Amino acid sequence: MNKSDAERLSGMLDYLGYEQTDVPKQADLLIIVTCSIRKLSEDKAYSAIGVWGKWKKTRPNLKIVFCGCVAQQQKEDLFKRAHYVDMVLGTHRLYEFPELLKRVNAGERVCSCDEVVYPEKDFPINKAKGYGAWIPIMEGCNNFCTYCIVPYTRGRERSRDSEAIIKEVKSALKDGYKEITLLGQNVDSYNSNGMNLSALLREINSIEGQFRIRFVTSYPTDITDELINTVIELDKVCEYFHIPMQSGDDYILKRMNRRYDVKTYKAICDKLREKVKDVTITSDFIAGFPGETEEQFQHTIDAMRDLELDYSNTAAYSPRPETVAGKWTDLFLSEEVKYDRLNRLNDCVKECCLASNKKFVGKEMEILVESFEKAKGTINAKTIITGRTRNNKIVHVPCDRDLSGEFLNVKITGAKTWYLLGELI
């Protein structure tokens, strides 16, 4: 979501006549899009602007803009911490940026963090180079998981107008992007004027041309039969679901305010594996949630293995003071315990990932080629192409020419922990 915000801000700057520089120290304007999901990301943002503040001492005309989730939390208070910042821009006000920048350039210091959404404007979008375009379709969240800051920084759920989304998809396809990922904190909750995610997928699928469609992130209980059938039916929609489970223990799930238990999550995975051919399911887990016992943690390890999850993102619990769990200080676990559990969780991720990759050896799969480069490690070739399958597996294929951007069928010949090996058919 932050990447997408940055692409939009960059497009607005192009429109305003700014040019990008590769030398930040020489820039007239520096913008940071911040994340507050964990303390570490927040700290990184403060340390970056600290450096910029020092540059400003010798270049007083340098303008500094602080936006994203930390901006939304801090509002005016940010100026107390970093007096050299010129603009604090909240998550609901992205499209107000050009107007605010005019005021900043006239010498004002501005903060716009209202929770009233500033209407979307038709500015160009500077999408990152490559073949994948990330397109937000909804933002915010109503779930209030006890550990999560998102409802406080991105606000309540709101869906973008489907016409604006379709227009953005068409424009990305025209620019050569071949994989469209629809983004939302709870992407399955998309609902704009009665159009749900399945209906939106149908609309996008009907656009002419060869391309793929993905969507992230799915809340487990929002995956309906209608959505599963839509994925099966639509040729461009990929067989890939990212469904954060967060814990494999029912008591901890309750404490997290997640509205499902392990049995329900398993039933969703079982249904997907039964109905969607070659589907992969990935997840997110938190190690060391406040009060988590060793036994409860073991349930998470057991669940990851039992569910045969194809890959999982993991993180040690990071207290966010504004959240409900962030106030359970007497239940916080030591850093040592949290990181020991995180390491064990990561070992389990590796094991599951290798087991998942092995299942595809011998199969023919379609890849979208993303790069051409010199072969590294044990691959017996001078050069390789690297592509991604429909179910989101990375495949390295010996090849002597650059086929980037092409859809190719390859035969999977080997499996490593983080990637597959293949050969051209």
Interacting residues toward ligand SF4 by CB under 6 A: 141, 143-145, 148, 150-151, 185-186, 219
DSSP track, 76-143: THHHHH-TT--EEE-TT-GGGHHHHHHHHHTT--EEE--SSPPPP------PPSSSEEEEE-EE--S-
- Write the CA distances from 414 to 11, 251, 255, 389, integer angstroms: 42, 40, 42, 14
Q: Which is nearer to ligand SF4, 143 or 371 (CB)?
A: 143
Phi, psi of 302 (to 5 degrees): -60, -40
Q: Which is nearer to ligand SF4, 186 or 280 (CB)?
A: 186
Q: Identify whether the C-beta of residue 410 lies closer than 8 Å to the C-beta of residue 424.
A: yes
Min. distance of Cβ 152 from ligand SF4 in angstroms? Answer: 9
Min. distance of Cβ 191 from ligand SF4 in angstroms? Answer: 16
| Cα distance between residue 296 and residue 292, in whole Å | 6
Q: Which is nearer to ligand SF4, 52 or 134 (CB)?
A: 134
Min. distance of Cβ 258 from ligand SF4 in angstroms? Answer: 7
Token pair for 65: 């803009």
Q: Which is nearer to ligand SF4, 150 or 228 (CB)?
A: 150
Q: Identify whether the C-beta of residue 65 lies closer than 8 Å to the C-beta of residue 32.
A: yes
Neighbours of 420 (CB within 10 A): 24
Q: Which is nearer to ligand SF4, 185 or 296 (CB)?
A: 185
Q: Which is nearer to ligand SF4, 324 or 403 (CB)?
A: 324
**343 closest CA partner among 318, 316, 303, 319:** 316
Phi, psi of 38 (to 5 degrees): -135, 155
Q: Which is nearer to ligand SF4, 144 or 418 (CB)?
A: 144
Q: Which is nearer to ligand SF4, 177 or 219 (CB)?
A: 219
Q: Which is nearer to ligand SF4, 37 or 117 (CB)?
A: 37
Q: Identify whether the C-beta of residue 258 lies closer than 8 Å to the C-beta of residue 243.
A: no
Q: Identify whether the C-beta of residue 89 lies closer than 8 Å to the C-beta of residue 97.
A: yes
Min. distance of Cβ 414 from ligand SF4 in angstroms? Answer: 36
Min. distance of Cβ 150 from ligand SF4 in angstroms? Answer: 4
DSSP lists the bridge partners of residue 397 as 385
Min. distance of Cβ 117 from ligand SF4 in angstroms? Answer: 17
Q: Which is nearer to ligand SF4, 148 or 268 (CB)?
A: 148
DSSP one-letter code for 344:
H
Q: Tell me: cis bond preceding 217? Omega within 30 of 0 counts.
A: yes
Min. distance of Cβ 245 from ligand SF4 in angstroms? Answer: 11
Q: Output the CA torsion 36→128→137→88 (10° steps).
A: 40
Min. distance of Cβ 237 from ligand SF4 in angstroms? Answer: 22
Min. distance of Cβ 280 from ligand SF4 in angstroms? Answer: 20
Phi, psi of 13 (to 5 degrees): -65, -40
Min. distance of Cβ 70 from ligand SF4 in angstroms? Answer: 16
Q: Identify whether the C-beta of residue 280 lies closer than 8 Å to the C-beta of residue 391.
A: yes
* Beta pairing, strands 280-287 & 240-242: parallel
Q: What angle do CA 403, 407, 409 make, to 5 degrees?
A: 100
| Cα distance between residue 2 and residue 34, in whole Å | 7
Min. distance of Cβ 219 from ligand SF4 in angstroms? Answer: 5
Q: Which is nearer to ligand SF4, 296 or 323 (CB)?
A: 323
